[in-house]
Amino acid sequence: MVLGVLGSGSGSNMQAILDAIDAGTLDARIGIVLSDQPGAFILTRARQCGIETGVIDCRGFRTKFPDEAQAEIAARLQAAKVELVCLAGFMRLVKRPLLDAFPDRILNIHPALLPAFPGLESWKQALAAGVAETGCTVHFVDAGMDTGPIILQERVPVLPGDTPESLHARIQVAEHRLYPAAITRVQMHLQGT
């Protein structure tokens, strides 16, 4: 299965997907990696692996993902023969026309047990709420903020003395296990196996 990855940051979840592919536990390949941040390390990681990359032109908006940009990205992903789109630390809200171009084929990983703590810096939200556990969720992307159907979740305990950084680091370890497993589950469903 050909994957397309959209990211805004370092690309550690994309690296986890690549590691699973290399280990033979995920039967896929990444066809293209796109970022809204021209200097994002995710693009460097992809280039080092010989993967096609590109920059998303968001027309100067800091957080908005304009429809024209989404249409361009949909066309770029389709040209790369992408079958499943994986958001990996992509910090913009996906809407139409990208959702229409890949119906039920866009995944996101979120650092909380959705529906709890949607949005930004959810590990900080979990600490502030005083919960005993949090975790991560892979879900299908819909037009809402972290509201799509859940595919897989993994729980992470909140330990005494946790800082936002220590909790986030443990959640990321769980994310790196969970995302490839969720992609495999979706792939099996799409292939009817």
Torsion, CA 89, CA 2, CA 80, CA 6, rounded to 10:
0
Start-end of H helices in the chain: 12-23, 41-48, 67-79, 98-101, 122-129, 164-190
Q: Which residue has the tokens 């975790």?
A: 135
Which residues 6+ apart lie within 8 Å of 109 measured at CB?
13, 87, 88, 136, 137, 138, 175, 178, 179, 182
Residue in 110, 139, 168, 176 annotated catalytic? 110
Q: Reduced to 3 states, what is the DSSP secondary structure of residue 151?
A: strand
- The rounded distance, in Å, linking the Cα atoms of 152 and 141 is 13
Clarify whether 110 is annotated catalytic: yes
Q: What type of residue is 26?
A: L
**Nearest to 110, CA basis, from 153, 158, 65:** 153
Please give the positions annotated as active site.
110
